[in-house]
């Protein structure tokens, strides 16, 4: 009996010591939280903002109503049927388009109303409605593409609690925490209900968290469901309630809540979500749109109106039902809201964040500006978001069509990949860049990082070198588009014996003109031209055109056997479009401080790599490639107008250009 009493006393003492130690740890942790926990505000840690290029409203420009509407909707403009009255309004008629512009994000232009006069599908005039006079140049403001906060790619718009509409607050409180203004950060009733549910299921399936607890979890802890994390979250919520008022906590919650993903960019806050999903300010949301947005809080990707519209509508109706039950909606408002169709202004495809382009931009920005940019800086880029969306869609469609038509392209364990770059040859600005099929699966940028043999795509540069050499009398026989070349079997000595180039169809055509040789992408004539010009002259011209990848100085260079990047080749072809003038590719136009002060401006680097005469001749040949040659199928696919281009394939058709 004595021994049992002895162990009983020791056990109670051990429990007391253990309990005391735990209590001390909790007190110390609480004091630590009291000293360190703060509510962040967006203006204290502003993200780096990345904007696309402004759309120039240039007289004479062909403009499609659907494309213009897409640009305006993307920028958050809203269409009206009457006279435009405030910033963000636009009105379309067959004769003109009236737009009340927004302020420019870099601060150099304030909002004002203008009219675009349409003449046979083109811009005739751009007039200021307030002054009734022509204005030019004038552009739509640049669209926001992405944002960076540290290493996280995200966009957010901080909205003060006083500017958040009451229906948004009512909906959040009704569905997430209807006792928010009554509890001290934790809700014992909700916790008891969640505990009972978890006990019945045998695992943690319900949290019972208050808005304050959710905020603490989002700001300070991982989403992992463990008892220790829940205890820390509870203590943090209690400390936040001690340090801050209810409205401050609610403001932070509504601005910090994660509300989905657009490509590689995370959306935070109800203000940014309203803009991204509905193309309008938070203050203009309908009851149905408000319920849809608030319903996403439970699971932003599960209840995404873009990815899962049926589930999103179900969740929206749950929120509406709760609002009706709490007395926030009248019978008429309830019927109108629950009966409305699910409407999202922006599709997943049109939420262009151009992740490959942004990666390239950030590297180029760091190299150009000499280091990291200050928080809140605005980077004005060259990217056209409409062209970017078209590029991404075209790449996806083209790859799927190839896989369907050529089953052999689908190799086990491999995905057919591609890349696309669009450049403005006058400025070198990158208008669109798709570095792969899906950035989420592969961040490798095939437009910049991949080196591939260009194959026949390289032949125009060989003929350009020949025309240049002829102008300088550096070859025995002058080469022109009408010059005759023998397309017949031939062998050239190499270190490993002899090399006999073949045409793609293993056929020879005898004597052909230079024009025919390039239009039909014949290999043997190209190699003969390279031999007469000299490989050193060709590689020197290639360097002048901006291609920095290593080049092998042998005759196979004429067939594009040296690997290059897509961006390099695109810039070289851009020089042909500019009469031999090379303009270095760039993704940046300028960098502006949060105050609006300019920090850095891009300087266009250009030099003459070839004569305008030689560039003109090659461009003429490339027009024939599209009209009559290997690229003539492009016309059957709907390509219109005067176009110059070149196809390219490598050995065994491994890569195609």
pLDDT tens, 252-267?
899 988 998 876 678 8
Beta strands in 435-522 (DSSP E): 484-487, 492-494, 497-499, 510-513
456 included as an active-site residue: yes
Looking at residue 651, its pLDDT comes to: 63
Residue 460 has pLDDT above 80, yes or no: yes
Sign of the C-alpha dihedral computed for residues 122, 126, 132 and 133 taken in this order: negative
* 218: alpha, beta or left? (left if phi > 0; alpha if psi -120 to 50): alpha
Structural tokens at position 147? 């944002």
Stretch 67-83: mean pLDDT, rounded? 87
pLDDT of residue 224: 62
Q: What is the pLDDT of residue 351?
A: 46
pLDDT value at 75 more than 80? yes
Residue 566 has pLDDT above 60, yes or no: yes
Q: What percent of the chain clears pLDDT 70, i.e. is strictly above it?
A: 85
Q: Do domains 54-144 and 151-339 have the same CATH topology?
A: no
The residue that leads in pLDDT, 106 or 127, is 127
Confidence of residue 108 (pLDDT cuts 50, 70, 90): confident
10 Å CB burial of residue 17 (0-12, 13-18, 19+) is exposed
Contact 453, 655 (CB under 8 A): yes
The per-residue pLDDT of the chain, averaged, comes to: 84
Domain ranges of the chain: 54-144, 151-339
3-state class (DSSP) for residue 118 = strand
How long is the chain?
657
Whether the CB-CB separation of 635 and 623 falls below 8 Å is answered with no
Contacts of 623 (CB under 8 A, 6+ apart): 642, 643, 644
The per-residue pLDDT for range 347-379, each reduced to its tens digit, is 444 445 788 999 999 888 888 877 777 778 899
Strands 144-149 and 48-51: antiparallel
Count of Cβ atoms closer than 10 Å to residue 578 Cβ: 18
640: left (phi over 0), alpha (psi -120 to 50) or beta: beta
Residue 349's pLDDT is what?
40
pTM of the predicted structure, to 2 decimals? 0.77
Share above pLDDT 90 across residues of the chain, in percent, rounded to a whole number: 42
User: For the domain 54-144, what is the CATH superfamily, name and number?
Assistant: Penicillin-binding protein 1b domain (3.30.2060.10)
Question: Residue 599 pLDDT more than 80?
Answer: yes
Among 235-249, 499-513, 607-621, the least confident range: 235-249
d(CA 495, CA 238): 80
At residue 12 the predicted structure's pLDDT band, cuts being 50, 70 and 90, is low
- Amino acid 315: pLDDT: 94
Check 266, 456, 565, 614 and give the catalytic one. 456
Mean pLDDT of 80-101: 90
What pLDDT sits at residue 196?
64
Distance CA 128, CA 111 (A): 11
Q: Read off the pLDDT of each residue in 44-53 and give the average, rounded to a whole number.
A: 82
User: Would the pLDDT of 168 be above 50?
Assistant: yes
Instruction: List phi, psi (to 5°) of 126.
Output: -125, 115
Higher pLDDT, 343 or 226: 343
pLDDT confidence of residue 181:
86
| Token pair in block for residue 199 | 């006990």
Q: With a cut of 80, say whether residue 216 has pLDDT above it.
A: no
Query: How far are the Cα atoms of 167, 171, 305, 334, 346 from residue 327, in angstroms, in the given order?
Result: 12, 11, 26, 10, 32
CA pair distance 547, 527, nearest whole angstrom: 20
pLDDT at res. 640: 82
pLDDT in tens, 395-418: 999 888 888 887 777 766 678 899
Q: 82 an active-site residue? A: no
- Res. 213: pLDDT tops 70: yes
How far from each other are the two terminal CA atoms of the chain, in whole angstroms?
92
Nearest to 292 by CA among 329, 340, 258: 340
Secondary structure (DSSP) of 225-282: --HHHHHHHHHHHHHHHHHS-HHHHHHHHHHH-EEEEETTEEEESHHHHHHHHHSS-G
Which pLDDT value is given to residue 348? 42
**What would the CATH number be for the domain defined by 151-339?**
1.10.3810.10
Task: Give the DSSP letter of residue 434.
Answer: E
- Asked whether residue 236 carries a pLDDT value surpassing 70, the answer given is yes
Least reliable range by pLDDT among 214-223, 270-279, 433-442? 214-223
User: Which single residue is written with the structure tokens 């519209």?
Assistant: 309
Q: What are phi and psi of 513, to 5 degrees?
A: -80, 160
Instruction: Report whether pLDDT(39) > 60.
Output: yes
Could you give the CA distance from residue 99 to residue 114 in angstroms, rounded to a whole number? 5
d(CA 155, CA 102): 19
pLDDT for 205: 45
Question: Which of these is catalytic: 141, 176, 272, 519?
Answer: 176
In DSSP terms, 48 is beta-bridged to 148
**52 pLDDT above the threshold of 70:** yes
């Amino acid at each position: 009996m004595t021994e049992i009493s002895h162990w009983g006393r020791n056990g109670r003492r051990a429990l007391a010591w253990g309990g005391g130690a735990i209590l001390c740890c909790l007190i110390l942790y609480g004091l630590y939280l009291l000293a360190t926990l703060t509510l962040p505000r967006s203006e204290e840690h502003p993200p780096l903002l990345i904007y696309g290029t402004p759309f120039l409203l240039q007289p004479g420009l062909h403009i499609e109503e659907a494309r213009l509407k897409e640009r305006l909707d993307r920028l958050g403009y809203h269409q009206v049927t009457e006279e435009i009255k405030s910033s963000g309004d636009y009105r379309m008629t067959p004769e003109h388009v009236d737009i009340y512009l927004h302020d420019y994000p870099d601060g150099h232009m304030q909002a004002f109303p203008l009219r675009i006069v349409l003449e046979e599908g083109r811009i005739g005039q751009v007039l200021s409605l307030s002054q009734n006079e022509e204005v030019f140049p004038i552009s739509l403001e640049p669209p926001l593409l992405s944002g960076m906060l540290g290493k996280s790619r995200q966009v957010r718009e901080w909205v003060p609690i006083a500017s958040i509409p009451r229906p948004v607050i009512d909906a959040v409180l009704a569905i997430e925490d209807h006792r928010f203004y009554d509890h001290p950060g934790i809700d014992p009733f909700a916790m008891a209900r969640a505990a009972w549910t978890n006990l019945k299921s045998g695992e943690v399936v319900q949290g019972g968290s208050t808005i304050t607890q959710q905020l603490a979890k989002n700001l300070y802890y991982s989403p992992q469901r463990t008892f220790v994390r829940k205890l820390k979250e509870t203590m943090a919520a209690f400390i936040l309630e001690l340090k801050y008022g209810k409205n401050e906590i609610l403001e932070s919650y509504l601005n910090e809540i994660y509300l989905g993903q657009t490509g590689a960019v995370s959306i935070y806050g109800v203000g940014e979500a309203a803009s991204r999903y509905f193309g309008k300010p938070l203050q203009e949301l309908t009851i149905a749109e408000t319920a849809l947005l608030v319903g996403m809080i439970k699971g932003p990707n599960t209840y995404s109106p873009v990815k899962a519209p049926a589930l999103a509508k179900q969740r929206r109706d749950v929120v509406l039902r709760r609002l009706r039950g709490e007395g926030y909606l009248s019978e008429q408002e309830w019927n109108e809201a629950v009966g409305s169709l699910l409407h999202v202004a922006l599709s997943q495809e049109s939420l262009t964040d151009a992740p490959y382009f942004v990666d390239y931009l950030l590297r180029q920005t760091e190299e150009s500006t000499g280091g990291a940019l200050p928080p809140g800086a605005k980077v004005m880029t060259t990217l056209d978001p409409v062209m970017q969306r078209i590029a991404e869609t075209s790449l996806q469609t083209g790859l799927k069509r190839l896989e369907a038509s050529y089953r052999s392209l689908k190799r086990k364990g491999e995905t057919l990949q591609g890349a696309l770059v669009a450049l403005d040859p006058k400025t070198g600005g990158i208008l669109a860049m798709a570095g792969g099929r899906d950035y989420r699966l592969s961040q490798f940028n095939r437009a910049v990082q991949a080196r591939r043999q260009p194959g026949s795509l390289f032949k125009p540069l060989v003929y350009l070198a020949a025309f240049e050499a002829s102008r300088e009398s550096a070859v025995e026989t002058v080469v022109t588009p009408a010059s005759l070349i023998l397309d017949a079997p031939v062998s050239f000595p190499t270190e490993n014996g002899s090399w006999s180039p073949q045409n793609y169809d293993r056929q020879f055509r005898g004597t052909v003109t230079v024009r025919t040789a390039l239009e039909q992408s014949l290999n043997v004539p190209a190699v003969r031209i390279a031999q007469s010009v000299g490989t050193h002259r060709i590689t020197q011209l290639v360097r002048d055109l901006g291609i920095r990848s290593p080049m092998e100085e042998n005759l196979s260079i004429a067939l594009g056997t040296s690997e290059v990047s897509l961006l390099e080749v695109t810039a070289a072809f851009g020089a042909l479009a500019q009469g031999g003038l090379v303009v270095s590719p760039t993704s940046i136009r300028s960098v502006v401080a949060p105050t609006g002060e300019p920090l850095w401006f891009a300087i266009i680097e250009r030099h003459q790599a070839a004569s305008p005469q030689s560039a003109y001749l090659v461009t003429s040949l490339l027009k024939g490639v599209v009209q009559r040659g290997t690229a003539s199928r492009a016309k059957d696919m709907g390509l219109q107008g005067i176009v110059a281009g070149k196809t390219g394939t490598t050995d065994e058709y491994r890569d195609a250009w």
